[in-house]
Amino acid sequence: MKPTKLLAVLSLFGVFNAIAALELPIVDYRLADNSELWKKAKADEVPAPLIAMNRTNRPNNSYSSLFPKSFLQESMFTVCYQNCSNNDLFKVKNGSVTTLDYRGNHQWNVIEQTNVYFWLASYFRFLDERFYFKPDQYLKVFTNRDIKDESNKKMRNNAFFNPQDVSLSFLPASKNLLFKLLGGKINRSGLDPSVVAHEASHYFFHHLFPNAVNQEIGGLNEGFADYVANILLQNPKVGLVMLQGKTLRDSSSVLDGKGNMKVYAPNMEVHDLGERVSLALWKSRELSLDKNEFDRMVVDAVVELSENPYATIHDFKVLMMKRLSSVISAQRLSLAEANFELIFPGNPVKVDNLSFMLKPIRAESFIGFKIRQDIPTKLAEEMGVPASDAFNFTIIKMEKVSATQTAILVADETKTTTTPYWVVLDNTRGNILGIYDLSRKLVKNPDELEKLEKLITQVKNSAEFVKDFTGKLKSFTDLHNGKGDFNIAYRVNRKSVNQVPLTFNGREETAQRIDMELKRRVLTLILGIPDITHVSLYTMPNLNLTSLPEIEGQKVIGYKLQLANGTLMEVILDKLN
Ligand SMILES: [Zn+2]
């Protein structure tokens, strides 16, 4: 940065020492749609006209309560720079606030932190005023968060809400060389008020509908998040600051980012489905004379929807249609209804019949897997998930419910118990219509559903899971034999064979575990392929399974792989008929 510009930005912070009330630099979204202003903007910076000073009293819980090192702390949330244990960019000196370090890159770190704080405080006020809603879960917020994903890559260009530890993370902008060479300019997510409001709305939605089964509710969540950001900022466009004047998503546009009409299709990616939701909401809101009442009606529909954990996007449509007449005049009502019908054609699907549960359970063919995953302790702590996770699942049988519905009997197996459940799938839209226990009771208890979460994911993705599993077995067997794609990326340094006990179809068997120590070739560095250090293959003799690869006459039935950062993944086929 040139010295003249540095001085200009530094002067923004001079006010901290001079007056008792705080003036925080924030990003004003109202000018973000002006492409002229962005022309000369550098990557990860916001043009000066978009920076506004906001006068505020100091946060009501600074340096107290849960996070004694954090200045920007309110009674319901805190905004920390990177993490909540050190590095805070603010400190109080002689009763006034000064930034710790605002030279060089730190000025944008400061602006990001104050911007997220300001917009979150506004958001909490807005929830109270518009929806009479007060969240009850303390929210931790990290700006410019330094975090790595499972494959040890620094996470960038995004922001996320983590319901596990009730936190919001704003990630840094890309510093990718190719990205820069191509002239790509992107801002860190925390500089964008619409991204702050969008992520905060996931936190809001989590209060309203915490235990949804179907991915379509994930799409509703995305659309709802855009919609609430839209109404808070009174702007249908999201992402203008992060993308330097370009639009990430536009709730007022009938075309999506790829130029397609925004119409529902089964199995849509959540943000794509979300764009359909926010369009339907934005367009019907325009037809309403009482916008505030309309907004409350949307939240009311989500709350009623949450009574059914198996709800789908079409159930949401029905609840909205039921309410439209209370906020839209009779003359405009048919227009609003036509909007919903156009974007989400059709009706919700119900389970056609339950007669499959009456048949005796005799499994002609079944398949089961033992899965184990370990991730580095630090990453697990940061993500608020367990570091080690072991899991068994078995598909016992499949029954046709009707032409478009299938029931799958799956078992969740632990050391002591095996609990089978019927999962009814709508094959057309890819939704789960219901999960029943063997006493034919629909599972609705949130705790029980939470326990079944992994099983549900496995059932929904079972086709891809089996494909991925057999694909990996084949690739690793090829690697063992010195051929295939993996052989281009890795070299097998050392091999050893061990006898190991293994349970297969309920019997104790002796299997072989072939351990391979890998050395990656330079190609993995260039292409960013994960640094796999060890691969093991489990093989067993005397199995008549033609679909599995072979090593020295034995069938390969499982693999274990280990990454340099400590991530471990093991999948073993342990039941098959
Ligand atoms: Zn989102």
The pLDDT tens digits for 541-566 are 877 777 889 999 899 999 999 988 88
Tokens 């962005």 belong to which residue? Answer: 38
- Average pLDDT value over all residues in the chain: 87
Centre of ligand 1 to C-alpha 209, Å, is 15
Q: Which of 248, 188, 190 is nearest to 43 (CA)?
A: 188
490 alpha carbon, distance to own chain's centre: 31
Tokens 């033609």 belong to which residue? Answer: 546
Residues whose CB falls within 8 Å of the CB of residue 4, separated by 6 or more in sequence, listed in order: none
Centre of ligand 1 to C-alpha 163, Å, is 12
Contact 197, 240 (CB under 8 A): no
Centre of ligand 1 to C-alpha 202, Å, is 7
Centre of ligand 1 to C-alpha 197, Å, is 10
Centre of ligand 1 to C-alpha 269, Å, is 12
Centre of ligand 1 to C-alpha 218, Å, is 9
Centre of ligand 1 to C-alpha 382, Å, is 19
Average pLDDT (347-362) is: 88
Centre of ligand 1 to C-alpha 156, Å, is 15
Q: Which of 553, 544, 548 is nearest to 572 (CA)?
A: 548
Centre of ligand 1 to C-alpha 8, Å, is 35
Centre of ligand 1 to C-alpha 555, Å, is 44
pLDDT band at 312 (very low <50, low <70, confident <90, very high): very high
Centre of ligand 1 to C-alpha 80, Å, is 21
Centre of ligand 1 to C-alpha 162, Å, is 11
Residue type, 485: D
The fraction of the chain above a pLDDT of 70, given in percent, is: 90
Paired residues of 335 in beta bridges: none
Residues whose CB falls within 8 Å of the CB of residue 571, separated by 6 or more in sequence, listed in order: 369, 370, 371, 372, 469, 472, 558, 559
**Token pair belonging to 37:** 């202003």
Q: Which of 424, 386, 370 is nearest to 559 (CA)?
A: 370
Reported as type and span, the H/E element at residue 422 is strand 418-426
Give the 3-state secondary structure percentages of the chain, helix then strand then coil, rounded to 5: 35, 25, 35
Centre of ligand 1 to C-alpha 57, Å, is 31
Centre of ligand 1 to C-alpha 227, Å, is 11
Rounded CA gap, 503 and 514, in Å? 17
pTM over 0.95: no
Centre of ligand 1 to C-alpha 461, Å, is 22
Least confident interval from 117-126, 226-235, 334-343, 564-573: 564-573
Residues whose CB falls within 8 Å of the CB of residue 151, separated by 6 or more in sequence, listed in order: 530, 563, 565, 567
Rounded CA gap, 113 and 26, in Å? 9
Centre of ligand 1 to C-alpha 152, Å, is 23
Checking if the pLDDT of 180 tops 90, the result is no
Centre of ligand 1 to C-alpha 215, Å, is 13
The fraction of the chain above a pLDDT of 90, given in percent, is: 56
Is residue 551 classed as helix, strand or coil in its secondary structure?
strand
Q: Report long-range pairs for 173-182 (Cβ below 8 Å, ≥24 apart).
A: 173/43, 173/44, 180/43
Centre of ligand 1 to C-alpha 233, Å, is 16
Centre of ligand 1 to C-alpha 369, Å, is 32
Centre of ligand 1 to C-alpha 30, Å, is 21
Checking if the pLDDT of 5 tops 50, the result is no
Centre of ligand 1 to C-alpha 225, Å, is 6
Centre of ligand 1 to C-alpha 198, Å, is 6
Q: Residues 96, 101, 102, CA angle at the centre, nearest 5°?
A: 95
Least confident interval from 214-223, 354-363, 475-484: 354-363
Cβ < 5 A residues, ion ligand 1: 222, 225
Rounded CA gap, 511 and 508, in Å? 9
Q: pLDDT, tens digit, for every residue of 57-78?
A: 778 888 887 888 888 999 999 9
Centre of ligand 1 to C-alpha 199, Å, is 6
Residue 179: the pLDDT is 57
Centre of ligand 1 to C-alpha 278, Å, is 12
Centre of ligand 1 to C-alpha 222, Å, is 5
**Rounded to 10 degrees, what is the CA torsion of 250, 255, 261, 262?**
0
Centre of ligand 1 to C-alpha 128, Å, is 22
